[in-house]
Amino acid sequence: MCGILAVFGDVDDIVALRAVRAADRLAHRGPDGRGVHVQTGVGVLCHRRLAIMDPASGQQPIASRPAGSSETDGASAVVVHNGEVYNFRELQRELAPRGHSFHTGSDSEVLAHLYEVEGDAFVPRLDGIFAFAAIRSDERGDDWMVARDPIGIKPLYYGRDAAGRLWFASELKALSDHCVWFKPFPPGHLYTRHEGLRRYYEPSWLQGARPGHADASGLRERLAAAVDKRLMSDVPLGVLLSGGLDSSLIAGLTTRLLRARDPAAEVQSFAIGIGPDAPDLRAAREVAAHLGTRHHEVCFSLEDGIAALDDIIRHVESYDIPTIRASIPMYFLSRYIRDQGVKVVLSGEGSDEIFGGYLYFYHAEDPQAFHRETVERVANLHLSDVLRADKSTMAHGVEARVPFLDLAFLELAMNIAPELKQPHAGSQGHEARMEKWLLRAAFADPSDPLIPPSVLWRQKEQFSDGVGYRWVDGLRAHAEAQVSERELAEAADRFPHAPPTTKEAYLYRSRFEALFPGEHAARCVARWVPRWQDSGDSSGRANPFHANHTTRRTTG
């Protein structure tokens, strides 16, 4: 939902105009409206709106305004917000006895009231996905703050310009030519005028504590609750359905929960492949038939994907190989979803990082190493899968919600003993146990299957592989034809930071450099590489445990 930009410091009309123009680069994130609030000498808040909650009256910037006033007149606090606060009604009920009334049905309005009353102390109580910036002015003086959700599901970057002003924005493209330095804003942190940057989200699992023995029997209930709260929407909602375990479970729970409210509810599901026989399309059809969704299939060609490379890199702001490979089909699918009038989709991101679902996790030497890798992957999701999910969908004004990264679900799943989560091939005295077996077992109910057993126990297939093996192979072949041996040999001279080591990596890096020049931009990207296997190729087919394994050259 939406795109935001904020500038704090010595702000005048000229800086405000520059900020508004920079925010317009985020128009794809917010096609339904734009707004600006300027407080001379303090800051400027800009917003591009994707209207999801209260489309008629939830315009931003949104304020804690007194009854009878309009817009931001007389307000103590003003906010621009990208995301959703799932517990906003509960927070509103807490504020009501303190004399606060609400003028819209937007979840964002509660942020302004909380900031007015509590300063930044309220942020840990938010349950949702968010990046927001706020200004407060009252008898205590002028103040401002910025915060990002605990896992970084909503993107945010920050930097400083030559005059010392701080800039914050949803995407890199709005900052890159205004700031002398810039970088990703860390998840689970907030930044205040007087205290600077600090962490507010500090669960024990993220700090390196060894997991306890959480009761895994609660996984099904926690995931259902996570899905339920993400059905909050005043506009049409659907599900992404790759036919893999994770998206199928989310689709199944979404369908059951919506039909429990309304037995006639129609659920729309969306799948994509490079041809009608793509592995994901075949599996998705089976799930859709089982659930009775109104199912949509989108097919794209290798040529379409290659032609879209520059658009994809411009939107996802990355040169990471698996990010680019997976973003292109998701970009095409999101465009189709938007054209169907659907603005919100639920998706399955996060499960593989939490449960060690990638095939390389079979090679972890022990449960401790397995657990450390799951923690690192979850902590860095804002640089990989959730970045791709957000920016690929928001390129077309579609919001993706990710129930597996619900904080209550994470608290349970990340505290399950790693011995129970680690997959095994059945050697060295271990019982054979497939990846994510604990999650699969939680939903294995022969008397009332949520999804077909063939999909519940389907081997992990990475999205970029599942759309059709020709896709990754075709991208690699295209890069081989485009990049010369000499260019690759001189890659370290051209790209001193994280130089590419394959032609595919070189192709993406060179196109990224043309769009986002300079080392600061390059350092905003993290490269995803699997551990513990001979091949560093991120394709699951490079792993010997893949059912259709073929040896691949290492990518970098």
Domain map of the chain by residue range?
3-199, 216-489
Point out the residues that are catalytic.
Answer: 2
Can you list the pairs that 107-112 forms with residues at least 24 positions away whose Cβ atoms lie under 8 Å? 107/53, 107/232, 108/53, 108/58, 108/60, 108/62, 108/79, 108/81, 108/132, 109/58, 109/62, 109/64, 110/85, 111/62, 111/79, 111/81, 111/85, 112/62, 112/63, 112/64, 112/75, 112/77, 112/78, 112/79
d(CA 432, CA 435): 10
User: Which position has the token pair 């991120």?
Assistant: 538
DSSP 120: G
Q: Residue 529's closest CA among 550, 554, 504, 493?
A: 554
pLDDT, tens digit only, all 556 positions of the chain: 699 999 999 999 999 999 999 999 999 999 999 999 999 999 999 999 999 988 888 899 999 865 444 554 556 899 999 999 999 999 999 998 888 888 888 999 999 999 999 999 999 999 999 999 999 988 778 999 999 999 999 999 999 999 999 999 999 999 999 999 999 999 999 999 999 999 999 999 998 888 876 678 899 999 999 999 999 999 999 999 999 999 999 999 999 999 999 999 999 999 999 988 898 999 999 999 999 999 999 999 999 999 999 999 999 999 999 999 999 999 999 999 999 999 999 999 999 999 999 989 999 999 999 999 999 999 999 999 999 999 999 999 999 999 999 999 999 999 999 999 999 877 666 678 899 999 999 999 999 999 999 999 988 766 666 777 889 999 999 999 999 999 999 999 999 999 999 999 999 999 999 999 999 999 999 998 888 877 667 666 666 667 765 443 333 4
H-helix or E-strand spanning residue 14: helix 13-23
Cβ atoms within 10 Å of 283's Cβ, excluding its own: 25
Give the CATH superfamily of 3-199.
Aminohydrolase, N-terminal nucleophile (Ntn) domain (3.60.20.10)
Residues 520/501, Cβ–Cβ less than 8 Å: no
Q: Is 431 exposed, middle or buried (0-12, 13-18, 19+ CB in 10 A)?
A: exposed
Query: Which listed CATH number (3.40.50.620, 3.30.450.20, 1.10.645.10, 2.40.50.140) goes with 216-489?
Result: 3.40.50.620
Dist CA 355 CA 421 (whole Å): 6
CA distance 156 to 268: 30
Phi, psi at 100, each rounded to 5°: -95, 130
Which residues are registered as beta bridge partners of 403?
Answer: none
Give the max Cα distance, the chain.
72
The pTM of the whole model exceeds 0.85: yes
Element (H or E) spanning 91, and its range?
helix 88-95
Residues 381, 405: contact at Cβ < 8 Å?
yes
